Chains A and B, each alone.
Chain A
Amino acid sequence: MTDYVIASSKELHDVKKASLKDLNFTSQKNLFKIQQHGTWSMTLYYSYYYNSIYGYYYHKWEGQTSITHNLDFAPTFEVWGRVEDWGENNYQKWTYYYYATASGPKYRIIESNSSNITIKYLEQLRENLYNPQYGHPLQNVTIDGIYSIYVDPIL
């Protein structure tokens, strides 16, 4: 098979001689192709409970949402999230975290499988004098965000 290449160079570079970094497109390198792009939202359900082992009351916000893609493989993706009560300018790239403090576990889990991207969130705060100013409002809270899912598998 003849090896065909389509390439486009940056301005002032010869496409036949340019190095890879001086090409703005070459068929020899894959691109992330956007299968779908959009917004998501999730309700964090508030609850309040007493942990008899530790002898404290806890506030808890927990939620989960899924974005369906039905690609039949686990795709690469990007998820950004925003907590409404933290202001407009707080879209942050969401990556996995899971850690435990004296207040309890806190996690953000983003999973990709062959049909969905699933986003899970949990935050717990132990009741004390300082909680109201550090936690969410003591009610259900909405988180929204943006995402891209690519037609390019993780593996």
Chain B
Amino acid sequence: MAKWGAKISQEYKDVKTCADKDLVFSSDWNTYRIKQIVRRTISNSVTDVYYHNLGYVPFVWGFLDRGDGIFIADQTAEELMVFGGNSILFNISVGSNTIESYFELQGWDYPPSVTKNIVLIIMENL
């Protein structure tokens, strides 16, 4: 069978001769597709469980809205060097049916009952 496919090169690159890294797209290479985008509000120091029930362990991008226009990525432990020395810890744990999200704020500026909005971007299985 003849080899066929589609390629799109980056600007100023010749699609027929350029290296793979200079392609925007190639049917030779898979790309991640977004399965679900989930928005949740979770509480300080409380593990939140989201049931995706996909039956596989998906790659997930997690972001926490710090509340001041800044989003931090999951697996972040961030020291905020402001008066009082506040800190934020945010992580997610992924299984074949659930995603557990957890954040912890420490410092003078944070009441213990605070909540934060998070976004979970869940990828399709490959």
Instruction: Mark A residues whose CB is within 8 Å of B.
Output: 1, 3, 6, 25, 27-35, 37, 71, 73, 78, 80, 88-95, 97, 146, 148, 151-153
Contact = CB atoms under 8 A, between A and B. Distances in A.
Contacts of B24: 27-31
B25 A33 contact: yes
Q: How large is the interface on B (under 10, 10 to 19, 20 to 34, 35 or more residues)?
A: 20 to 34
Given A3-B11, A34-B31, 16 more contacts: A33-B29, A33-B30, A34-B30, A37-B126, A73-B21, A80-B94, A89-B100, A92-B94, A93-B74, A93-B92, A94-B75, A95-B75, A146-B57, A151-B20, A151-B23, A152-B21
B75 A92 contact: yes
Interface of B: 8, 10-12, 20-21, 23-26, 29-32, 57, 59-60, 74-75, 77, 91-98, 100, 126
A92 B25 contact: no
B98 A89 contact: yes
